[in-house]
């Protein structure tokens, strides 16, 4: 446990920030799952629409450095490829 006032404050701040970051990571996962669900249905137009709206959420979380930008790029690339594969 923290012994100084400064260390106690930093511990409180770390807990608060961890809670905020966890909620953002959860929003990221939810956005990805919503696109995957739309892809699974098989409607390309609906999946593209959901992907477009999820893309802004995904990018904003990457900009805040909650997850690494390459991880976000990988997810977006795979989702986009899956949507394009629906036509075939």
Q: What is the pLDDT of residues 15-67, one digit of tens each?
A: 999 999 999 999 999 999 999 999 999 999 999 999 999 999 999 999 999 99
CATH of the domain at 72: 1.20.58.110
Q: How many domains does the chain have?
A: 1
Give the global pTM. Answer: 0.86
Alpha helices in 1-88 (DSSP H): 5-41, 44-63, 69-85
Listed as own residue / partner, the contacts of 4-13 with beta carbons closer than 8 Å and 24 or more positions apart are none
Q: Residues for the chain: how many in total? A: 88
Residue span of the structural domain in which 68 resides: 5-85
Please give the torsion angle defined by the CA atoms of residues 79, 85, 87 and 88, in that order, rounded to the nearest 10 degrees.
-170
């Amino acid at each position: 446990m923290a012994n100084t006032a400064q260390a106690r404050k930093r511990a409180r701040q770390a807990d608060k920030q961890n809670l905020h970051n966890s909620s953002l990571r959860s929003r990221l996962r939810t956005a990805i799952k919503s696109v995957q669900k739309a892809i699974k249905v098989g409607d390309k137009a609906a999946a593209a629409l959901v992907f477009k709206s999820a893309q802004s959420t995904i990018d904003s979380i990457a900009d805040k450095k909650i997850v690494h930008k390459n991880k976000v790029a990988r997810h977006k690339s795979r989702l986009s490829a899956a949507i394009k594969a629906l036509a075939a």
